[in-house]
Amino acid sequence: MCLLDALHSRAVIASQPTPPASAADGACYRVTATATGAWAGKEDRIAVLVAGAWHFVAPTEGMVLFDRTTGAFVIFGSQWQPASVVALPSGGTVIDVQARAAVTALITALETMGVLAAPGT
């Protein structure tokens, strides 16, 4: 397994500050603050286990990763930004049922694709 093979899917197992107790070759994680152990000082990088050693890849502007644990995308600007949670429309004095249904369907579809995080994540 090489770094390129491991990063090809553009997905990480999880975003966490500490290396897992055990991981398979090619495992990818997004290192969060405050990193500890073998990941100390490697915040915001992508940790990839290759031949039993952790290798770190610095993110670039616009990089997008899918976090398998949360089921949502994160994107790197000056820092990693998680998918937003968008509230469903409600209230108001005039209710446009068709418009509200269309907006709700759009938000639901974006949550299903992982572009937006679902409420409570």
pLDDT digits (tens, 9 = 90+) for 25-36: 999 999 999 999
List the beta bridge partners of residue 48: 28, 55
The ranges assigned to domains in the chain are 3-69+72-81, 83-113
Q: What does the pLDDT read at residue 119?
A: 77
Q: What does the pLDDT read at residue 90?
A: 73
Q: What does the pLDDT read at residue 121?
A: 63
6 — pLDDT class (breaks 50, 70, 90): low
Contact between residue 29 and residue 35 where contact means Cβ atoms under 8 Å apart:
no
More confident residue, 15 or 2: 15
Q: What does the pLDDT read at residue 112?
A: 72
In whole angstroms, give the CA distance from residue 31 to residue 43: 5
pLDDT digits (tens, 9 = 90+) for 44-64: 999 999 999 999 999 998 899
Q: What does the pLDDT read at residue 23?
A: 95
Q: What does the pLDDT read at residue 48?
A: 95
Q: How far is CA 65 from CA 90, 97, 98, 114, in A?
A: 32, 35, 34, 11
Contact between residue 7 and residue 28 where contact means Cβ atoms under 8 Å apart:
yes
pLDDT digits (tens, 9 = 90+) for 66-116: 999 988 888 888 889 887 777 777 776 676 887 888 888 888 878 776 778
Contact between residue 51 and residue 58 where contact means Cβ atoms under 8 Å apart:
no
